[in-house]
Amino acid sequence: MEKSDRIIDTYELNVNEIVVDVNIISKEGEPVPTYNISITNISDTTKLVLEKIRDEFVSEETKTLTEEESVYNVQEQFKEKILKLLAKYFPTADRKTMDMLINYILQQNIGLGNLDILLKDANLEEIAINNATEPVSVYHRKYGWLKTNVLIPTESRIRHYSTIIGRDVGKEITILNPLMDAHLKTGDRVNATLFPISSKGNTITIRKFAVKPWTVTDLIKEKTISYEGAALLWMAVQNELSVIVAGGTASGKTSMLNAVSNFFPANQRIISVEDTRELMLPKILHWVPMETRLPNPEGKGGIEMLDLIVNSLRMRPDRIIVGEIRRKREAEVLFEAMHTGHSVYGTLHANNARETINRLTNPPIDLPKQMLSALSLIVVQHINRRLGRRRTLQIAELLPNGDPRVLMQLNPTKDEFELVNEPLAILETLNLYTGLSKSEIYADMQSKITILKWLVSRNLTDVNKIGMIMSRYYHDRPLAQTKVQPKSPHT
């Protein structure tokens, strides 16, 4: 490290007993900081011996590998054989050390190498390999895009990684099929391309699955949404009003959808439909998650989003969650479900509330505007890519004619989520179905803000604990019985 270099952050990872130091360093003249990893509990001398073992092992054993075998099966198959080689070179090592060394050899030679280390860092959201001449890039939750000190040595190694990822989930990537969408068994989404389709070299892009789901507490702590905004969403969900979360790519739509699901009551049946399982709801909920399936190479066996949405309506759902609304028929079925008394929650690609309405009412979705009245709220997420900051941009209600009316909006200069209009349609709907007056509804919102502040003050971010708290809240204080001293959010 040079004198002009500045360490921004440092922390430690434990990857199968392999201890890894992570240093994020700002270097003079470099456009982005560097994400450096170094293995601390394996010396350079040990690595040289491991290379010798690796050569001895690989020269004999890799000849026996078949294309059909998964990485996991291969690793299990060769653990004992590697252990015998290690015992020869490290006769005094204990079992824990042996296990760590086995994991290192398997990771470097049969697994995904140093990519396995990057995959274990919960702070990373995205891992991008552009080719064999450029370092791997990562998107850090706190620092945005960073360049790493990890370099994939050859284009063939990148292609090999793509092949073993695909093999584990029944996909293949070849010169004839040079594009691959897949997901790891951990839920991480993977896209791979081969040269010359990607003209600078083979690529792999991994969107990491959040091991810990985002909760409403996390979003408030990160200033993604305000207490008032979260309380309004809680009020809507409690009263079975339908909500769409809109936003651009990587703006936090799924994270917000997961946080909204924190407010579901435990005595209702929830069906979720996703392309790749990302939602993680509290365990106490009556929840049935479902996933689409791509067709096999012969074009058979595919299960589409529409198939699952139609099927979900036959499963006696109280709430339906849809990972992403894309096509006309999907949207038609969902809005019909809203009109027939189901609560629907989903995501849509759109940059603001008005654009959300335009997307819904124009091709390819092309719904009649009068159908939109069944939707109560639109939540719009936004990412400031320069700062790597995700915020709720707007919460808008839907008027009877299908037009959006923004209730809360981000003030970017103050970085605050502000009330810009008093609710009209929401208050009217709540009054119609609960009999509560405007002042009683505001009082209930205030009580929800108090509970949310309590959650944040105690740093309660575990989705299952929050689920239990919500269950007790609904059991002890149903909305119709809430009688708190009225207090308008305007005062």
Give the CA distances from residue 39 to residues 103, 115, 126, 157, in Å, rounded to whole numbers and listed in that order.
13, 13, 21, 21
pLDDT, one tens digit per residue, over 176-204 is: 889 998 877 777 889 999 999 999 999 99
Helices 438-457 and 425-434: crossing angle, nearest 10°? 100
pLDDT, one tens digit per residue, over 408-445 is: 999 999 999 999 999 999 999 999 999 999 999 999 99
Which pLDDT band holds residue 66 (cuts at 50, 70, 90)? very low
Of 12-16, 40-44, 293-297, 477-481, the one with minimum mean pLDDT is 477-481
Question: What are 272's two structure tokens?
Answer: 């979720």
Exposure string for 327-343, b = 16+ CB within 10 A, e = fewer? eeebbbbbbebbeeebb
Q: Which candidate, 317, 394, 332, 339, places its Cα nearest to that of 368?
A: 332
Between CA 169 and CA 294 the distance in angstroms is 11
- 8 Å CB contact between 239 and 405: no
Between CA 477 and CA 425 the distance in angstroms is 24
Half-sphere exposure of 289 (CA within 13 A, CB side): 15
Between CA 436 and CA 440 the distance in angstroms is 6
Q: What is the pLDDT of residue 141?
A: 86
Write the CB contacts of 358 (distance below 8 Å, at least 6 apart in sequence). 350
Alpha-carbon Rg for the chain, nearest whole angstrom, is: 26
Q: What percent of the chain has pLDDT over 70?
A: 86
Burial of residue 274 (number of CB atoms within 10 Å: 0-12, 13-18, 19+): buried
Q: What is the pLDDT of residue 5?
A: 84
45/233: higher pLDDT = 233
Q: Which amino acid is at 374?
A: A
What backbone phi and psi angles, to 5 degrees, belong to 98?
A: -60, -45
Between CA 263 and CA 483 the distance in angstroms is 20
Q: What is the pLDDT of residue 295?
A: 78
Between CA 244 and CA 346 the distance in angstroms is 5
pLDDT, one tens digit per residue, over 145-169 is: 999 999 998 999 899 889 888 887 7
pLDDT, one tens digit per residue, over 299-324 is: 788 899 999 999 999 999 999 999 99
Between CA 238 and CA 16 the distance in angstroms is 42
Q: What is the pLDDT of residue 149?
A: 93
Full set of structural domains in the chain with CATH: 216-481 (3.40.50.300)
Give the CA distances from residue 180 to residues 76, 101, 177, 186, 207, in Å, rounded to whole numbers and listed in that order.
26, 32, 8, 17, 14
Question: What are 458's two structure tokens?
Answer: 């105690």
- 8 Å CB contact between 286 and 269: yes
Q: What percent of the chain has pLDDT over 90?
A: 60
Show the CA angle centred on residue 399, arms to residues 395 and 403, nearest 5°. 80
Question: What are 45's two structure tokens?
Answer: 């001398």
H or E element: which one contains 162? helix 155-168
Helices 71-89 and 95-109: crossing angle, nearest 10°? 130
Mean pLDDT score of the chain, rounded to an integer? 86
Burial of residue 465 (number of CB atoms within 10 Å: 0-12, 13-18, 19+): middle
Q: Which amino acid is at 385?
A: R
Q: What is the DSSP letter of 187?
A: S
Q: What is the DSSP letter of 62?
A: G
Which pLDDT band holds residue 41 (cuts at 50, 70, 90)? low
